[in-house]
Structure 1
């Protein structure tokens, strides 16, 4: 039932069942997204240390694209979920179209920058000349093809808001399957396909995501549920679009703050050389593999909050957050034990370079130490977003990332010469702080009064 294509409302009945029905496909969806990252690193690590470092530097810049995509996605989920809760299915479909139009406009601008200035982007991130010459093609293709990232995120957010998380999951299974098949072909070459090296990982990923987007559009236009886009819906509706932009600005702001801090952390890490940078990149990819299921549970909480606020049931919305947070904390606590014990062995799957293994395993252990805090922090922050209150997480992110994490990382890693471990510690402490501040603010209850 949880994996079927049926859309559902979650404004009545058992909350535990509702969390299960939403979480299972969302967890699987997020696992699929993180497998992208692991598969690329697994194959690319066979090319060179520079190739792995290229992915790390490029991905840190691409996270700025993710910030816009996720910000618009949160607005899409909040508005669609609210309209479904209000039984306004036409309004939900119209909001979906405006999301897609906005995504296309933004991605075209980003593509132009990525294609023309790939070398300059890597240089700005502190890449050495040999890394730039080897890796700039990867950067060109991944940023140039960002439309696939943008639409994949945003259309899946529409499905989630409608209560159909399973479509989002199957979409990512399709894109991942293609990526896994195409990665070795384009990276190492096969038959008439030449070996593209690290550039091949970007080609495979873009083809996989692009195919999944086509599938999403088919489902939307020939839909199997509440959200079905018709030809009459395809028009720019100024009022709907401005409402979407208004709600998304906070989401975009909070993720731009988070992702730009990620870029600065990667820039600090580049000061310690390609081996340390590669270890850090592998550890972050491995960490994201288990962070994504947690993000899936957080998205489930966001949908429950949105639909129940739309149905005038704020107490039920709040209760769903605390139950989801508890389940998430149990999951993340178990994962942290695995990472603390087996960090070195996990990193060795991806590299046999001693320095890469040393710093990769240290990073994994330090980050895992804060996993239980991440669990509650993510659920609470996503719950604000599900309510349409995207401003509160923006303030929290600004304080925890820009006013605490970045100054702490730079001061300790560079000025006090603590080295890479200081950056790892800065990440964990900032996430702990987000959880504490987020829970205190959530208990105030002002998110229950937000209108979208």
Structure 2
């Protein structure tokens, strides 16, 4: 089965779709997996057990978001290297990324297991759920190396033009996790009942099995990014390559933290409105998780595709890739927004039941706010292209301005005039402002003239080693205009 898509030659539309749709499928599976786990825990163990998973899932999300930044940096560097036909440089990026962050993940896993009680105290976990939360969190920390390594490898594969392999093994992880959850929660045959710890154990086992299977597949198919023989020496991080990964990855990781912290701040304001409003907002967030998936998938696809074309010097294709990414976002995200406008009550009923005040509140929140995700989707495409040439600081600045001065200013400043609707309107207000600033950056920001992210491949002591040299003042392949 062909897994890699040629991103630098041929028609753009089918290539973009063939790359973006498996990425979208992976995102849907990942989110569905979390929802299915929550259903198993809630139905088999009750509300206290479900509440106890919140802390573990929050820790896992924050660490995954942190690794996502460096995975995105790897995608950019690998994409540019593949675009110019430099497989050795792409393998060096993979080696440095894995050689750095896998040992870190193991240390975090061990430290998290030891200090999990103290961490729960810092998070303010309710006393009645601490025993359950501790069982869950410790096993989640044990799963951390597999989860983070899978995330890193999947993003590296997408940088090489392969979005199908990540989909295959994400599907394997989800199926295993879904089947194993009730087995380890309740126990069956020789398997002892583990309660809430069994759910976390199922997640850990599913990810370790999927990781092993994916590595076996990569070597069996001899995919371009595999390391074998002397190339295994590339797992020793090269400081200059690591510095590039940190320079590009840290701002992207911080972006995730900025967005998450902004949402937590908004949640404190929502909680003041009472239980029905909080429940309605929670259901709306569940819906938004799926609404934003096409935008995230298209942004990732555009970034990988643009990076390869930039590496190949095909700047004539970069603008067309961006435009088609915007068109598909309008179709997919816009279509979802319209569909939810007419079907919002049954969708909210999935989370809130068919009656009660919360359903009506959730419908109102959705109708006031959800349209903003069309703007969000266009922004993701623009940011994906801009990041493909290594510009990651300005997107961080723009997101910070939108999340705090704009969103919080709107929510607080207009509360007296608009009432509680100021909270809901602050979401599209932030998305519109982000789009305006992202469009200005894309058209006039000079990101096309960013220094080239180029590596030289050299032989050192009988092994391949790649050294990042001083970048030129500007990318020599970039067009003169902005």
TM-score category by the smaller chain? 0.7 to 0.9
Cα distance in 2 for partners of 1:211, 1:108 equals: 17
Change (3 A) 1:239 1:108: same
Residue aligning to 1:258: 259
Cα distance in 2 for partners of 1:194, 1:365 equals: 47
Taking the TM superposition and a 5 Å limit, the aligned residue runs for 1:15-414 are 15-46=12-43, 47-112=45-110, 114-122=112-120, 124-125=122-123, 127-235=125-233, 236=236, 237-266=238-267, 280-352=281-353, 354=356, 357=359, 364-406=366-408, 408-409=410-411
1:7 aligns with 2:9: no
Is the CA contact 1:119–1:136 (under 8 Å) kept in the aligned structure 2?
A: yes
Residue aligning to 1:438: 438
Change (3 A) 1:401 1:143: farther
Deviation at 1:328, TM superposition (A): 1.1
Change (3 A) 1:85 1:22: same
Is the CA contact 2:291–2:337 (under 8 Å) kept in the aligned structure 1?
A: no
Is the CA contact 2:96–2:242 (under 8 Å) kept in the aligned structure 1?
A: yes
Q: Structure 2 stretches of 5 or more lacking a match?
A: 454-482
Which structure is larger by alpha-carbon Rg, 1 or 2?
Answer: 2
Is the CA contact 1:269–1:277 (under 8 Å) kept in the aligned structure 2?
A: yes
Deviation at 1:79, TM superposition (A): 0.6
Is the CA contact 2:372–2:427 (under 8 Å) kept in the aligned structure 1?
A: no
Residue aligning to 2:429: 429
Give 3-state SS (helix, strand or coil) of 1:10's partner.
Answer: coil
Change (3 A) 1:70 1:388: same
Residue aligning to 2:473: none
Deviation at 1:425, TM superposition (A): 4.1
Higher RCO (CA-CA < 8 Å; seq separation 6+): 1
Cα distance in 1 for partners of 2:333, 2:78 equals: 29
Question: What's the CA shift string for 1:116-138, capped at 9, x where partnerless?
Answer: 44455455555433344443433
Change (3 A) 1:97 1:224: same
Cα distance in 1 for partners of 2:94, 2:63 equals: 19
Deviation at 1:331, TM superposition (A): 0.7
Is the CA contact 1:5–1:164 (under 8 Å) kept in the aligned structure 2?
A: no
TM-score normalised over the length of structure 2:
0.82
Cα distance in 1 for partners of 2:364, 2:81 equals: 46
- Report the aligned-residue RMSD: 3.1
Cα distance in 1 for partners of 2:96, 2:13 equals: 33
Cα distance in 1 for partners of 2:184, 2:374 equals: 39
Q: Which moved more, 1:146-155 or 1:317-326?
A: 146-155
Cα distance in 2 for partners of 1:51, 1:436 equals: 43
Cα distance in 2 for partners of 1:34, 1:179 equals: 13
Deviation at 1:307, TM superposition (A): 0.7
Change (3 A) 1:133 1:259: same
Cα distance in 2 for partners of 1:153, 1:290 equals: 22
Give 3-state SS (helix, strand or coil) of 1:217's partner.
Answer: helix
Is the CA contact 2:5–2:19 (under 8 Å) kept in the aligned structure 1?
A: no
Cα distance in 2 for partners of 1:355, 1:418 equals: 18
TM-score normalised over the length of structure 1:
0.87
Deviation at 1:286, TM superposition (A): 3.6
Cα distance in 1 for partners of 2:347, 2:162 equals: 34
Cα distance in 1 for partners of 2:299, 2:162 equals: 15
Deviation at 1:102, TM superposition (A): 2.3
Question: What's the CA shift string for 1:60-94, capped at 9, x where partnerless?
Answer: 44332122111111111101110011110011111
Alignment: residue pair count? 447
